[in-house]
Amino acid sequence: MQKLHLVMGGRVKDPRSLEFTDLSTLDLVGVFGDFASAQEVWKANAQRTVDDAEMKYVIVHLHRLLEPDLPQG
């Protein structure tokens, strides 16, 4: 089964939160068909912005949003 993952990032109001300051400037990196591919791209972007505490990249598990009743495993 294909498990879609979205990698995105942007400037956050507080580095401990996921509240982005300006949704119009989000960096929508891409959608990936497996976690390993998404993680590789996420890591590259996170490392590129490591010196900017207000920049945060995340992986969104789209398959969990699209089919919430499926087992998590």
Per-residue pLDDT at 24 exceeds 90: yes
Residue 71 backbone phi and psi in degrees, to 5: -60, 145
Amino acid at 44: A
Q: Let me know if 42 is exposed, middle or buried by CB neighbors in 10 A (0-12, 13-18, 19+).
A: buried
pLDDT at 73 over 70: no
What is the pTM for the complete model shown? 0.87
* pLDDT confidence tier of residue 25, bands split at 50, 70 and 90: very high
Segment 26-56, tens digit of pLDDT:
999 999 999 999 999 999 999 999 999 999 9
- Domains, the chain, with CATH or none: 5-66 (3.30.70.2400)
Phi and psi at residue 10, to the nearest 5° = 175, 180
Whether pLDDT at 17 is above 80: yes
